[in-house]
Structure 1
Amino acid sequence: MGETPALRPSLPGSSSVDVAIVGAGYTGLWTAYYLITADPSLRVAVLEQSYAGFGASGRNGGWCSALLPSSLPSLARRHGRAAAVALQRVMNSTVDEVGRVCVVEGISCDFHKGGTVTVARSPAQLARAEAEVSTAASFGFPEVTMLSASLASARLGATSVLGGVFTPHCAAIQPAKLVRGLASVVEARGVAVYEGTPVTALRPGVVSTPFGTVRAPVVVRATEGYTAGLPGYGRSVAPLYSLMVATPPLPAVVWDTIGLADRETFSDFRHLIIYGQRTADGRLAFGGRGAPYHFRSSVSPSFDQEPSVFAGLRQTLGALFPVLGPDAEISHAWGGPLGVTRDWTASVGLDRSTGLAWAGGYVGDGVGTSNLAGRTLADLILERPSELVSLPWVGHRSPRWEPEPLRWLGINAALRATASADAAEARTGRASRRAAVIDRLIGH
């Protein structure tokens, strides 16, 4: 949504800086922000192949949430209960940190912390809702609450609501406004943001571009869904596409039926993820997964448009909210790739022996997580001891994806199995066994 901004100048030639950041999305810009805030004398350069926020940072669902791709039980099994709780608590507070920076820096991105309501619309979904609340309570997060059918429907007037879950740890934002505002803030503080500057290779101390070489003792890879395009990183992160639609601004009488009076973000407990929000200008923005994975982790603007997925989203909107009519009017439709690691686990780190730093693998939950990544990278680069550098995702190394064609076959088979699991549950009302197998495969 929105017009393409005018490009900033490209890299004018070879140079040397203290920190070179590859990627001007949330991760790269938050890292630059916290570095330059801590030490204004640092020479920081951000290199972006297109424009700041071109990728998922500028066109996501607008959830600034405390969600992590790894569940609390999964984190606890790998790192211990205390570490899992510590990471979740920091993620919860990260939502407020993003809001704080927006206020302090005057970034107008429609930030509003209304929480998230996730409804259950079948007996199987209701069982998952109850399990989620029970798990949250067992880890010390009682603010994640179960909603009765009437309370859930009062927040989100969807069809067939049997109950739901509410968490306060989410804010709705306009993503492009946040990333562009952040780019302007760091640039005003002296960070060099070079757009139209594709990176052809990165290695310790060196970033190569068609316009020259940037040398730096620390190089940060912040490329998320575009990582596979870098030499040597083809199996590190798989780009999966998520697509969205938005309605024109809806009249008050329609919103009286749909709800979301506090601009809550919303979803339900199906397996193939859907997500939505009520925008500040009164649109219903709605997205979902299900677009195919493309061979060899290919990324192309043509993949942003998948008519069958858009048709499915429109159909789902009509099923959720009949007030929109059988052919809900759609004013915008778009999409883009998000980054998925083989173990479905986000990570952040700095290899001090090489000076190569990284963050990503957010699996679509990157708006808040990227802020935590930026703060953590700043502490790691500046060698500042903090709670953040001891969190369990720091230094994690995900295994590589399988080579092709196994990667293509496996990912697309999993997508089809997930969709069929939802269809089976809709028919029978019983939990799908195949979905449970997929959850185990991705470490949930």
Structure 2
Amino acid sequence: MDAAVGRYRGLSFWHDSVPDDLTPRAPLPGDIDADVAIIGGGLTGLWTAWYLLDRDPTLRVVVLEKEVVGFGASGRNGGWCSALFPRSTESLVRAHGLEAALAMRRAMIETVDEVGLVTASAGLDINYVKGGTVAFARSAAQWRSAQDEVADAARYGVDQLELWGPERVRAAGARGASFDPACARIHPARLVRGLGRLLEGRGATIFEGTEVTGYTAGEVTTAGGRVRAETVVRALEGYTASLRQDHRAILPLYSLMIATEPLSEAVWDEMGISHGQTFTDHRHLVIYGQRTADNRIAFGGRGARYHWGSAIRDGYDRVDRVFDHLSNTLRSLFPGIGSPEVTHRWGGPLGVPRDWHASVTWDRRTRIATAGGYVGDGLSTTNLAGRTLADLIVGHSTNLTRLPWVDHHSPTWEPEPLRFIGANAGLLAMTAADAEERVTGKPSIAARVMAPLVGGS
């Protein structure tokens, strides 16, 4: 096996199991011209290219990727194609008004189906099964959180959440759960790698092994040449910090995952998780899991610290302490699984804007577009971003271009050491909030204080 291909296979369980040889495409050979230059070969960039070619098949679309398509979060995530948005509905109402907030929620819910419909019509098998998300409540405080979440959804009348009693859930100590039907289980590397192949068939050009060093109106510079283009799209998410000119726009925060060996049907029946379902609980330090198509548990969570200067390193993808914590957490949720072999361990950076508000921006004067800040909720949000950017770029005024995240500008992150102190203090606060609730049985004061800073109410 080629060394580069071996490296990409080792990125995650998803890369290891994708039906693709992962051989890198050729890099940019020198200066070229295009209509649209897209920086980043993840889902934001690929969906933007996809919908641009829907709207105008004659466009010359070029995608520039430093590694290979799907190298970053688009290929390494938890496989939740959900309607989650980094900011709560209540927070969106305060910022943008009721109608705009509800339009944003409707768009996110509709996008879960859009991903399934588009991939199915294109013949792309991404293991898509829309089974919803079960969020267990395993303490008095978590049960109250579940009840509040369902009540809030009912009050706004858009999200169709359900409250489940203890008879419907089998996680250890669960008093019940909230259930959100607007989520599909997918194989993320199948999606992003397949989308890249299909785009080439539609006329887009993808250059891999091509590091972008900067961009201005009408031009993208790389180590191998320049792309002159009327429109430039920055779609780097957590890797935005690698560009000097955008270093403080998005903070890269690491999330790590494990995958087990395949489990028997009897074990899955005991867990009460069906194909297509994803699962979590109502703790503050986020965890997320799914039942894969081949009956493994793919399970992840936050907990890895932010690194000084928004540094991104391969070594940060693997932290034994966090992997051990994930294994222990999984067994505490489902003791009946025993101690299955953990076959894959991986991680990577997701993108966090200063106000935890994802955005799509379009400068009509410079024709520079951006999208990102999904805070780990990107599998569906990237699709909505791609459709929205396509409408903006071709000049269509649609319901999507009027959504409240369009032309939302998040503040930049503070310089170091304030950025380092603040990001890691937030991580400690969420850890402390979970411990506080275990001891007191009441909603955490620390979490309530932090909520406005992390997209909560």
TM-score (normalizing by structure 2): 0.95
After TM superposition, give the deviation of residue 241 of structure 1 in Å.
0.4
The residue type paired with residue 318 of structure 2 is Q
Judge conservation of contact 2:275–2:293 (CA < 8 Å) in 1.
no
**Is there any run of 5+ residues in structure 1 with no aligned partner, and where?**
none
Distance 1:187 1:263 in 2: 30
Matched, 1:143 2:160: yes
Pairing 1:102-251 to 2, within 5 Å after superposition? 102-141=119-158, 143-151=160-168, 153=169, 157-251=170-264
Partner SS, residue 415 of structure 2:
coil
| Aligned counterpart, 2:267 | 254
After TM superposition, give the deviation of residue 442 of structure 1 in Å.
2.7
Superposed CA offset, 1:220-240 (max 9, x none)? 000000001102111100000
Judge conservation of contact 2:288–2:301 (CA < 8 Å) in 1.
yes
| Aligned counterpart, 2:4 | none
Aligned residues: 439
Pairing 1:60-75 to 2, within 5 Å after superposition? 60-75=77-92
After TM superposition, give the deviation of residue 443 of structure 1 in Å.
4.0
The alpha-carbon distance between structure 1 residues 297 and 249, as it changes in their structure 2 partners (threshold 3 A), is same
After TM superposition, give the deviation of residue 142 of structure 1 in Å.
6.0
Matched, 1:393 2:405: yes
Matched, 1:44 2:61: yes
Superposed CA offset, 1:406-425 (max 9, x none)? 10011111101111111121
After TM superposition, give the deviation of residue 349 of structure 1 in Å.
1.6
| Aligned counterpart, 2:452 | 440
Judge conservation of contact 2:82–2:377 (CA < 8 Å) in 1.
yes
Judge conservation of contact 1:339–1:362 (CA < 8 Å) in 2.
yes
The residue type paired with residue 316 of structure 1 is T
| Aligned counterpart, 1:286 | 299
The residue type paired with residue 420 of structure 1 is A
Match of 2:433 among 401, 418, 421: 421
Partner SS, residue 331 of structure 1:
strand
Distance 2:332 2:440 in 1: 18
Superposed CA offset, 1:38-57 (max 9, x none)? 21100000000000000000
The residue type paired with residue 225 of structure 1 is G
Distance 1:86 1:142 in 2: 11
Distance 2:191 2:55 in 1: 21
| Aligned counterpart, 2:358 | 346
| Aligned counterpart, 2:26 | 9
Distance 1:413 1:298 in 2: 17
| Aligned counterpart, 1:314 | 327
Match of 2:374 among 349, 355, 362: 362
Superposed CA offset, 1:184-222 (max 9, x none)? 111110100100001011111110011110011110000
Match of 2:387 among 348, 369, 375: 375
Judge conservation of contact 2:166–2:175 (CA < 8 Å) in 1.
yes
Distance 2:288 2:274 in 1: 17
Distance 2:372 2:193 in 1: 19
**Is there any run of 5+ residues in structure 2 with no aligned partner, and where?**
1-12
- The answer to which of 256-265 and 58-67 deviates more is 256-265
Distance 2:261 2:328 in 1: 16
Superposed CA offset, 1:257-296 (max 9, x none)? 1121242111100000000000001001100001000000
Distance 2:274 2:249 in 1: 41
The residue type paired with residue 409 of structure 1 is I
After TM superposition, give the deviation of residue 431 of structure 1 in Å.
1.3
Judge conservation of contact 2:238–2:349 (CA < 8 Å) in 1.
yes
| Aligned counterpart, 2:49 | 32
CA RMSD of aligned residues (A): 1.0
Judge conservation of contact 2:350–2:375 (CA < 8 Å) in 1.
yes
Partner SS, residue 97 of structure 1:
helix
Distance 1:56 1:227 in 2: 12
Match of 1:267 among 275, 280, 283: 280
- The answer to which of 157-166 and 336-345 deviates more is 157-166
Match of 1:406 among 418, 421, 440: 418
Partner SS, residue 274 of structure 2:
coil
After TM superposition, give the deviation of residue 328 of structure 1 in Å.
3.9
Judge conservation of contact 1:317–1:328 (CA < 8 Å) in 2.
no
Partner SS, residue 439 of structure 2:
helix
After TM superposition, give the deviation of residue 89 of structure 1 in Å.
0.5
After TM superposition, give the deviation of residue 440 of structure 1 in Å.
2.1
Judge conservation of contact 1:314–1:328 (CA < 8 Å) in 2.
no
TM-score (normalizing by structure 1): 0.97
The alpha-carbon distance between structure 1 residues 142 and 343, as it changes in their structure 2 partners (threshold 3 A), is closer
Partner SS, residue 303 of structure 1:
helix
Distance 2:426 2:361 in 1: 29
Match of 2:342 among 317, 324, 330: 330
Distance 1:198 1:248 in 2: 36
Distance 1:120 1:179 in 2: 33
- The answer to which of 161-170 and 356-365 deviates more is 161-170
| Aligned counterpart, 1:59 | 76
The residue type paired with residue 124 of structure 2 is I
Match of 1:99 among 113, 116, 121: 116
> Which stretches of structure 1, 4 residues or more, deviate above 4 A after TM superposition?
none
The residue type paired with residue 356 of structure 1 is I
The residue type paired with residue 370 of structure 2 is W
